[in-house]
Chains A and B, each alone.
Chain A
C-alpha cells in the first residue's frame, strides 16, 4: 500500500470510541476543509495543539453532599441544589508559520501555512491576505490544499484572490471542527516589470473567526472572547536577481508485504529555479540523519545528466553515507529549469511502526551574479509506516461433541470449517467463530454470513442470525448493508461470534453436509477480509405417526398424519373400576432412528397431566400390562420406503368413583433422536354405574348364652350385566358366625343351607352347586360354585335379575351375660366392578327360660312305687316310710340349652334310699347322676352342637324339651 506523506489528526466519527492520533490515511478527494497534513519543518507532531477543553455548550453540573448525625444519633445526608455551568464556545485558531521566499520579476512564489482550530467548537475561519512593502505583488491567492500534498493542484480550492493592491475583497471561509487543521497555500506573483533587487513585500495571511451562521467575519481572532488578538502570518518576499531554487519534497511509504522488513520510502524532489539567474554548481543533498538509508541504485533523475556523487561535501569532508547526493561542480540549473529526483530509502534498523521519520533536502548552488552560495531547504516530510491491515476468522476447533449442538466444533480441528454434526428439523445449528484483528492498530470489525457463497448451501429459507459471544445479544447492522458490527477491536484482540442457522420447518429430507461462508472485514479497509466455513453435517428429519389403524397414511414417509389428534381415533367404553384397553401402533417416518417416548395427556398440546386417580398408561398389550415408556428402537425411513413400526397398548384404569361421561386421552410419541412427535386421541366413555347388587335386609334377634341366632337374607342382581358375587363377613363385634349358602333342592325355593366352609373349594371348575332364582328360567335353578384361586373363597354368579338366599348363623358364647350385644356385617361384593352391598345383623343375649319343678309322693313301704299322686305341696309320711321326690327340668325358651344339671339333697331327718335315676330325657340321652353324701346331681339332656363348631355339647334340652329325675328318701 502506498500513501503520500500525510499525517493527520482525525476525530473518527464513525468509530464511536476512539480518537486516533497519528493515524495515517490515504485521503484522496476528501470534501470540505477537513483535517490535513501537518508538514513542513517545525510544525510539530499532530496533537500538540489539540484542545482538551470540553465542547462549547457542555453543561457542567455540580452538587455537594453533607452527612451528619441528627439529634437521635442517626446518620443522615443532605444534598445541595444543583449548580450548572455552560461551557462557552471558544472560536479560535492558530496560524503557522512565517516564511521567507525569493522572487524575480514576473515570478511566483508559494507559501504553505497551517490553520488549526484550537477552540472547543466548530468554527468557520475567514482567511485573507494583503501585502505591504516596496514590492507590489500583482496577484495574491489563497488555496485550500484539499489533497494535503502541499502542492498546488487542480483540485485545490481557491479561497481568496486579490489582484493588485487595495480593494476590499471577501475573505474565503474554511470551516474546521475542533482539533482539526487545514493547509493553506499562499501564492504571490510579481509583475514582469517589477523593480529588481532590494524590493520586498510583507505578505500577511490573516485568519479570523466567522459567526457560525451568517459567516460574518469577526475582526478578531481570539483565544478568549475578550483578548482581541489577531493571528497573522507574515511572509517576506524579496526580489532578488539571483537564482531562486525552489525545492519541494514529497514522500510515500511503500509497504512490501506484511511486516516492516521490506518497507521503503520513496522520496521525490522537484527542484525549480525560479530566479532569472543560473544556479551554478548545483548539488542536492539528502541527509538522512539516521532516519533512513538510501537504497543504492534506486535513484531516478530527470534530466539524467545529474550524477550521483560521493557523500562528500565541497570541502571533501564525508557526509552521511546513508544519504543521497546529486550534482556537483559544473552542474547548473538554468532559470526556469526543473530537476526531478526520486529514490528509495529504507527505514532505520529497528524501526518501530508509528515512529515518524522527518526529512528535508537541501540544494546548494552558486549565485554567479552576486557570488556566494545560495542554499535552499525543502519542506520537511514526515512519514510513518502505515498500519498493516489484516483480519482473521477461524473456527474454534474445540468442544467437539457430535451429539450436542452446543457451538462446539464437532471435527475438533482448526481447519477453516466450524462443523455442527447434526440438528433436528426446527432446531437451529449453533456455530461459533473467532475473529481477530491482525492489523497493527485498532480496527472496527464487521461480519456477515453469505449463505449462497458455498456450492452446497443450506436449504432455501434458512435464517442466519449473528450474536455476540453470549449467544443472546444480537449483532447490529448499523448501516443495513448486511455486515454486522463487531465493534472496535484492539490490536490482536479477538471477537467471538455465535451464528445460529435455522433451516425452515418444512425442509425436505436432503443429504448433507450444508455449507455457508462467514466473512469478516475491516471497516477501514473493506477489501481486507477473512472467511471461514460453516458446515452442518445433517438435518435430522424426525417424523412419527401414532395411530389406531394402519390406514393409507400410516407409515407414508411423513406425508399425512393417519390419525390427527383433532378427532378421536377410537372410542372405548367402560365402567368405574374397570380397566379398558386400546391397541395403538407407531411408525417412524423420519430419517432418524427413534426410541419414541410415549406419554399420556389430557390435551393435544401435551401440557395437562392426568389426575392422580386415573392410571392411564401405555403397556405392552392388553394382556401384558407391563408399563411401556418407550416404543422401542424404530429404524428411520429411507426415502420412499417405510420405516420401523411398533405396536403397544393404552391401558385405562377407570377409578371406582369416576363420574359417567366422555373423556379424551392424548397419547404422544416423541422422538428420542429427533424432535419428531405425534399425538393420537382416544376417547373413553365412562358408563353410568347401575346399582346392580343388593343384599337385604338388616335383621336383629336374640340368643341365649350358648344359643344361636339365625338370619336369612336375599342377594339379588338388580343390574344389567352378570355379576360374580363374593359373600363374606365384613365385621363382627363380639360373637362368631357362619355363612350358609342354599344348596337345594333344585327347582324349588331352597330349604337346605350349608356353611360355606363345608362346600368343596375347586379351582375354576365345577364344584358344589347353589340355588339361585333365575329370571331367565323363571324358576329356582342350581349353579356351580367356583373358587378363583385367589383370596376369594367362593363366588356365586348372578345374572341380571337373579337372586338367591344366604343365611347367617350367630353363636352367643355360653359366658355371654344377659344383654350382651353383637353386630355382624355381611357383605356381598362383585369381583369386577364397584358393586357391593351389606347388611347388619344385631344379636342380643336374652334371659334363659329353663324351669324346675319338684314334687313328692309317699311310698309307705319304700318299694319305689308312689302311693299317692305327686304333689308340689308338702308330703306326709310316718317314720320309716319313704318319700319319692320328682325333679322336672323344662326348656320353655326359644333357644336350646345345654349342660343342664339338676341338683338336690335329702331333707333333714331323712336318708337317701337307693340312687337317683333319670326317668326321662331327650333321646338319645346320655345323662347320668352322681351322689355325694346327701346331695344328688344329675346331668340330663342329649348331645347337641349348638355353636356350629362340629363338637356337640352335652346334656342339652331343645326348646320344649324336658327331663325328669326321681330319688327316694326314708324318714328316720
Chain B
C-alpha cells in the first residue's frame, strides 16, 4: 500500500508572496538625465555654457541628454528623441551625437520623421506652388536612430540647441 502524498499548496503560495524578487521585472537598465545650458560668449568670443533656470528671448539653450547603461548587458535599438519646446526654435545643425547615429527631424509633433533637408510644397508670395526646404526653426522634434549599442557602464551624451523665441 502506498503512502498518501502530502501536498502543501499554501506554503508554495506563501513562497511566491514573500519572494517577489524572484519573479519581478528587472531594474531600469538605462539611467537618463536632461540638462539645459544657456549659451553665451565671453569677452574673447568663446562660448560659455551655464546651467540656468531662466532665459531671455533670443537666448540659445543647449539641451544635453545623458544616458548610462547600468545593466550588465548591452542595450541596443536605441532611439533618442529630443523635443523642441513651444516658444523655442531649433538651431540648425546643432544636433550632436557620438558615432554614426542617424539624425531625423519632425515638423509635425512626432507624427512623422525624416532626414534633413525637409522639403515641402508650399505656396509662395505669388500664389505659386513650389517646393521649399522647411527651415530648421519649424522643427518640432529631433531624434537619433539606430544608435550604437550602449555597453554596460557606458555613458553617452546627445545634445541639440534651441533658441527662445
Contacts and interface: CB of A to CB of B under 8 A. Distances in A.
The finding on whether chains A and B are genuine partners in a shared complex, rather than unrelated, reads: yes
B61 interface: yes
Contact of A224 (B56, B78, B150): B56
A85 B55 contact: yes
Given A51-B57, A54-B57, A87-B54, A66 B67 contact: yes
A768 B72 CA distance: 111
Chain B residues touching A, range: 35 or more
Interface string B15-55: 00000000000101110111110000000000000001111
A707 to B, nearest CB: 63
Contact of B30 (A60, A75, A78, A225): A78
Nearest to B73: A71
A89 to B, nearest CB: 9
Contacts of B58: 53, 224
B81 A54 contact: no
B34 to A, nearest CB: 4
B91 to A, nearest CB: 14
Given A78-B30, A85-B52, A87-B55, A62 B165 contact: no
A70 B164 contact: no
A928 B27 CA distance: 117
Contact of A83 (B36, B73, B150): B36
Interface in A51-75: 51-54, 58, 60-71, 75
Interface string B66-107: 010001010111111111011110000000000000000000
Contact of A80 (B33, B52, B79): B33
A68 B78 contact: yes
A117 to B, nearest CB: 13
A765 B16 CA distance: 89
Contacts of B164: 53-54, 60, 85, 87
Chain A residues touching B, range: 20 to 34
Contacts of B55: 60, 85-88
A81 B87 contact: no
Contacts of B73: 71
Contacts of B54: 85-88
Nearest to B110: A65
A221 B76 CA distance: 54
B63 interface: yes
B118 interface: no
B75 A70 contact: yes
B88 to A, nearest CB: 6
B134 interface: no
A64 B82 contact: yes
A69 B57 contact: no
A230 B24 CA distance: 66
Contacts of A87: 54-57, 87, 164
Contacts of B85: 60-62
Interface in A717-771: none
Contacts of B71: 71
A63 B52 CA distance: 16
B53 A66 contact: no
B62 to A, nearest CB: 11
Contact of B53 (A80, A84, A225): A84
A475 interface: no
B136 interface: no
Contacts of B86: 54, 60
Nearest to A54: B87
Contacts of A61: 85
A233 interface: no
A90 B79 CA distance: 37
Interface of B: 26, 28-30, 32-36, 52-58, 61, 63, 65, 67, 71, 73, 75-83, 85-88, 150, 164-165
14 contacts: A60-B87, A61-B85, A64-B34, A64-B65, A65-B81, A66-B78, A68-B77, A81-B34, A82-B34, A83-B63, A85-B52, A86-B53, A120-B57, A224-B56
Given A70-B29, A70-B75, A85-B36, 16 more contacts: A60-B85, A60-B164, A62-B85, A64-B63, A66-B32, A66-B78, A68-B75, A69-B77, A71-B26, A78-B30, A80-B65, A84-B53, A85-B53, A87-B54, A87-B56, A224-B58
Question: Which 7 residue pairs are nearest across A and B when measured between Cβ atoms?
Answer: A53-B57, A69-B77, A80-B34, A54-B87, A88-B56, A71-B73, A80-B32
